[in-house]
Amino acid sequence: MLELSDIEAWRSFASEQRSKGRRVGLVPTMGALHEGHVSLFRAARETSDVVLATIFVNPRQFQDSSDLDSYPRTPDRDRELALACGVDCLISPTLEAMWPDFPAPTPTTVTLGQLGEVFEGAGRPGHFDGVASVVAKLFVITGACRAYFGEKDFQQLTVIRRLVRDLGFDVEVVAQPIVRDDDGLALSSRNVLLSPDGHRQALGFSRALRRVAKEPRSADAQRETLRGVLEGAGVEVAYAEVVDPLTLVPSRDGEAGERRALVAGFVEGVRLLDNGPVQLVGR
């Protein structure tokens, strides 16, 4: 496995692969790799000729410095896991290379507007502008590729799809299903911050999503169920919403068809999120 930190070497490697007729697969990560990332590596391995993985904890998407400082970092384990999964090139760019002016603001940025201001963006102003800006830079450096993202961060996936569509990147976004523990908890790098009791509380997320997936009902009824199950599990609910999966616009009573349930909240001070399909019926 080739390991790089230099941006120009990264750009050159990807370009060289394409010149040989190989399809490049890109898996962007912030490290602290787990089985969810493994599923992305495997998908990239199966459907691309050469797999690039990036590890970069992007400070521009953190509004709270303590949250950034506490973000788990496991470089040795990450390297072993990437190698075991057949990653061809592991890229760990430096902060100085990615954002030369940091901690001063970077003058050039991607601004998302409404799509980045709701749900995760509502309580974290600028978060998705930071996500979109770093992903745009990853795409610019890598060039034409397939990029693999998990559905667990559904709003992030929606943002990246919009980014590619609006700015015309030569990138095919490939979404992979949520990977869960045997007990149903969606895998997340933040799960390691939970105690055993906190882990049990966090199962309220998947339990709420299973409940609303069982029976088509109105949008308001589904929201009420989501919130009730989460609160009953002891989750401090940030939001429990049913939305259009393409626009993230909240659904109204009277709408029918498949939508997406988005849930987020705090367990032991750790912010967790999850999502799943839900069917609505009109009145």
Sketch out the chain's domains with CATH numbers. Answer: 2-176 (3.40.50.620), 189-276 (3.30.1300.10)
- In this structure, the strands spanning 257-267 and 270-280 are antiparallel
pLDDT attached to residue 65: 86
For residue 195, what pLDDT is reported? 97
Entry pTM = 0.92
Give per-residue pLDDT as tens, 97-146.
999 999 999 999 999 989 999 999 998 899 999 999 999 999 999 999 99
If you average pLDDT over residues 48-56, what whole number do you get? 98
CB-CB contact of 236 with 265 (8 Å): yes
Closest CA to 143 of 120, 172, 163: 172
Q: How is residue 123 written in tokens? A: 């309580």
Least confident of 37-41, 44-48, 252-256, 276-280: 252-256
Residue that has been written with the tokens 């390691």 in this structure:
192
pLDDT for residue 16: 98
* Residue 216 CB coordination number (10 Å): 16
Task: Give the residues across from 258 on adjacent strands.
Answer: 279
Active site residues: 37
Sequence-distant (6+) residues with CB within 8 A of 105 are: none
Query: Residue 99's pLDDT is what?
Result: 97
Q: Position of tokens 């993202």?
A: 149
For residue 283, what pLDDT is reported?
66
Structure tokens at 65: 């410095």
